Structure 1
Amino acid sequence: MSFKFEAAYDKQITRKDLQNLFWRSIPYEHSWNYERMGHVGFTWALMPILQKLYPNKPDFVAAMKRHMELYNMTPYICTLPLSMAAAMEEANASDPDFDTSAISNVKLALMGPLSGVGDAFYWGTLRILATGVGTSLALQGSLLGPLMFLLIFNVPHYIIRYVLTFLGYRFGSEFITKVQESGIMDTIVKMASIMGAMVIGAMTMEMVAVDIPVPIGIGEDVQTLAGLLNGIFPGFVTLGIFGIVYAMLKKKMNPLLIMLIMLILSIVCAYLGILGVPA
């Protein structure tokens, strides 16, 4: 498989480095966790490139920490943000004035939109197609059923995953060059930061579901406390929980300890009827 991207390899990162990035991206989801989701897989895939770009240990450690932040991405297209991050790290390694916050902000800005497209295509389209073909053959007693399912799903997956590795790097390199020449890096960083904050906020609202089933009112007008609060300010209960967790993180509390506290309080409050799951 050949791509006309050789002209982009005029710095430190080579075609072989990107091929290695592709292979290391495959176990991206194997270390997924509830604390920071895919951060370990993302950082592990980038690690050889970071070692090459930052021969000095303090710079390498700083780069590793930069990518150990919360990150979640449809695993089948994770090579796109990975290779873009590699291009931005390459620019940072050669430019002492490069704003490293741009790397995190661009990653966060891509997280929501790319995952939306990736989930819709892989889970909502390709998987359904593969399952339909595989199931129909399996019901006829054919051993080709599971084989066709795996082929229909994984052949396009790996081709797209491989191509995105090079597209992401090329796009990232050209993007950085044009931005630096135009002098609008500060504006790009600010816009990406706002988009990243919006993505995190949307994820919080989508993934946190909680009810306060304490009844307010009498007769037909009775409603839960959560319903009353959310009626005044939509998402108020979720925002309140987010605020409490954020305050705990600001006090440098261990995220695992915060999760344990929330788990215990949730069980106790659910038993007492103070908290519940929205209907």
Structure 2
Amino acid sequence: MKYTQNLSPDERKMMRSVFWRSWTMNASRTGATQYHALGVIYTLLPVINKFYKTKEDRAEAIVRHTTWFNATMHINNFIMGLVASMEKKNSEDPDFDTSSITAVKASLMGPLSGIGDSFFWGILRVVAAGIGISLASTGSPLGAIVFLLLYNIPAFIIHYYALYGGYSVGANFIERMYESGGMKILTKVSSILGLMMMGSMTASNVKFQTILQVSVKGSKEAMKIQTYLDQLFIGIVPLAVTLVSFWLIRNKKVNVNWVMLGIMVLGIILGMCGIC
């Protein structure tokens, strides 16, 4: 309980509210740029309402957290604690760089998810399921109960202490970074890591494979367009679609739902025409 000793009664009450709200984070998947964003905003509302006194400041903080977010459940509370601490610092310091909040949040998603996925999905769940299945195979009704307890008790404890750990570390972390002048470096590095992660996700999740072929006179084999596209730049079409979508949303203020609908219609048309 050392994480809570230095907190005021109001802060402890605020963090308890954040903790219980954080269970809804992974239940708010809305797609596109709002992935888990609604859950993040709902989780951080006690922080925003406590530290920001005007409607304008609160609105700005809420808009700041509409960005894409996805990290392993339970361990993602460390990010929420750190972000809560940074929001507190921002409310106290008029020279605070608000872009660092989004940058740090984005940069921690990948590394923490790598740890969280390996532990929760690859180790804890498998071990708990193995023990539960062995009991269930003997006809014992305790199999399901033991599985749920073995998985959820450690998950609950980590979920709790990750939040308070992030909040406690955040205050000292931010103070040291500002004193050393390292916040600008951290923000820059975090932004780069965030962009790298988004680029990797684009390459992994946005797919395009054309079956279009062009007959060449005097040749028995048709020229496959996809082969030449790959020789030119692997993933050039998914990259182009992503950049055009970003340009429409960012510069032309096109609603993201219209962009998604346009991509779906384009995919259907290309499929019906035998292009992909």
Task: Tell me, yes or no, whether TM beats 0.5.
Answer: yes
Aligned to 1:228: 228
What per-residue deviation string (whole Å, max 9, x for no partner) do you get for residues 100-128 of structure 1? 00000000101111112211211122221
Aligned residue in 1 for 2:80? 82
Instruction: Give the partner amino acid of 2:99.
Output: S
Q: Label 1:144 to 1:241 Cα distance change in 2 as closer, same or farther (>3 A).
A: same
- Kindly indicate whether residue 26 of structure 2 is the aligned counterpart of residue 29 of structure 1: yes
Instruction: Assess, with a 3 A threshold, how the Cα gap between structure 1 residues 227 and 156 changes in structure 2: closer, same or farther.
Output: farther
Change (3 A) 1:242 1:224: farther
1:146 corresponding residue in structure 2: 144
Q: What amino acid sits opposite 1:200 in the alignment?
A: M
Tell me the residue number matched to 1:200.
198
| 1:252-276 residue CA offsets vs partner (Å, 9 max, x unmatched) | 100011111111111221122212x
Give the SS at the match of 1:14.
Answer: helix
Given that 1:38 and 1:72 are in contact with CA atoms closer than 8 Å, whether structure 2 keeps it comes out as: yes
- SS across alignment from 2:2: coil
2:171 counterpart residue number = 173
Match of 2:64 in 1: 66
Measure, in 2, the Cα distance between the counterparts of 1:46 and 1:38. 12
In 2, Cα distance between equivalents of 1:167 and 1:192: 20
Number of residues paired by the alignment?
272
Residue 260 (structure 1) aligns with? 261
Cα distance 1:30–1:271, how it changes in 2: closer, same or farther (>3 A)?
same
Q: 1:114-166 CA deviation, whole Å, 9 max, x = no partner?
A: 11221121112222112212222222211111111111111111111111011
Moved more, 43-52 or 244-253: 244-253
Q: Distance in 2 between matches of 1:160 and 1:103?
A: 23
CA contact (8 A) 1:108 1:192 kept: yes
| Corresponding position of 2:108 | 110
Gaps of 5+ in 2: none
Distance 1:115 1:171 in 2: 19
Residue 232 of structure 1 and its aligned partner are, at CA, apart by: 2.8
**Residues 18 and 43, structure 2, Cα contact 8 Å, conserved in 1:** yes
Distance 1:146 1:248, change over 3 A: same
Structure 1 distance, partners of 2:14, 2:31, is 30
**1:25 touches 1:78 (CA, 8 Å); kept in 2?**
no
* Alpha-carbon distance in structure 1 between the residues aligned to 2:123 and 2:231: 36
Aligned CA-pair RMSD: 2.0
* CA gap 1:214/1:84 in 2 versus in 1, 3 angstroms: same
Tell me, yes or no, if the aligned pair for 1:13 and 1:90 is still in contact at 8 Å. no
Picking from 126, 129, 135, the partner of 1:128 is 126
How far does residue 53 in structure 1 lie from its aligned partner after superposition? 0.3
Letter in 1 for 2:115: V
- Paired with 2:223 and 2:127, the residues of 1 have a C-alpha distance of 44
Deviation at 1:220, TM superposition (A): 8.7
Q: Percent of pairs identical after alignment?
A: 36
